[in-house]
């Protein structure tokens, strides 16, 4: 069954609050299941990775653009994906000298809307799923990156800053299995 060529409106929208609460319940449960905060961070990143490797197909089907000529175009695509899937508009800033690192700066983080980190979870990367998603999605288009949070609203910073660093082009085909 083939997909229609263009989908003008996606009628299956979900409320942002419901999404935030669902993600919050998920993180709270993982925190209860695992002893160390580091393990929780890893799990969130893994989950994000699994989302990323799948969502890239949907993204490419919707946007129909060709290959990226350089990393700057990749950054723009990532920015467009945030707008498309999460209705977030980060700005792309802080390019490194070699154009291999950039930052996505969010004024506010809607998935962490009602969250206050308790003191014993100060090292928790609450939105780590986003880092994993970026890593997974870009790996499927043969770009290996590392993604992490440089600043976080939840930790008292004024903005949330997600840093992405280009590591290398992946030459061999990546198996599309789960992590």
> What is the Cα–Cα distance from 131 to 136, expressed in whole angstroms?
9
> What is the Cα–Cα distance from 27 to 162, expressed in whole angstroms?
19
Is residue 21 involved in binding another protein (CB under 8 A)? yes
- What is the footprint of another protein within residues 81-120 (CB under 8 A)? 113-118
What kind and span of H or E run contains 80? helix 71-86
Q: In the block, which residue shows the tokens 């799990």?
A: 43
Total residues in contact with another protein, by rule CB under 8 A: 13
Pick 37 or 170: Cβ nearer another protein: 37
State the binding string over 30-49 for another protein (x if CB under 8 A, else -): -x------------------
Contact 77, 119 (CB under 8 A): no
The number of beta carbons lying within 10 Å of the beta carbon of residue 173 is: 7
Minimum gap (Å) between residue 100 Cβ and another protein: 35
Is residue 25 involved in binding another protein (CB under 8 A)? yes
Minimum gap (Å) between residue 102 Cβ and another protein: 30
Minimum gap (Å) between residue 150 Cβ and another protein: 23
Strand pairing partners for 164?
A: 102, 147
Angle between helices 128-140 and 71-86 (to 10 degrees): 130
Nearest to 107 by CA among 161, 164, 163: 161
Pick 41 or 103: Cβ nearer another protein: 41
Pick 80 or 117: Cβ nearer another protein: 117
Binding positions for another protein, rule: CB under 8 A: 21, 24-25, 27-28, 31, 113-118, 121
């Amino acid at each position: 069954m083939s997909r229609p060529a263009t989908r003008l409106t996606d009628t299956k929208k979900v409320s942002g609050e419901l999404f935030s609460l669902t993600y919050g319940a998920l993180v709270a449960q993982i925190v209860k299941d695992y002893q160390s905060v580091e393990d929780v961070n890893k799990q969130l990143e893994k989950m994000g990775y699994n989302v990323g490797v799948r969502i890239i197909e949907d993204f490419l089907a919707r946007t129909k653009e060709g290959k990226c000529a350089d990393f700057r175009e990749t950054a723009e695509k990532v920015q467009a994906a945030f707008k498309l899937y999460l209705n977030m508009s980060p700005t792309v800033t802080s390019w490194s000298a070699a154009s291999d690192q950039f930052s996505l700066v969010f004024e506010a983080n809607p998935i962490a809307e009602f969250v206050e980190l308790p003191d014993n979870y100060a090292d928790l990367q609450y939105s780590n799923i986003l880092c994993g998603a970026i890593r997974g999605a870009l790996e499927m288009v043969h770009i290996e990156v590392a993604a992490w949070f440089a600043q976080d609203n939840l930790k008292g910073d004024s903005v949330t800053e997600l840093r992405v660093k280009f590591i290398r082009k992946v030459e061999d085909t990546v198996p599309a299995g789960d992590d």
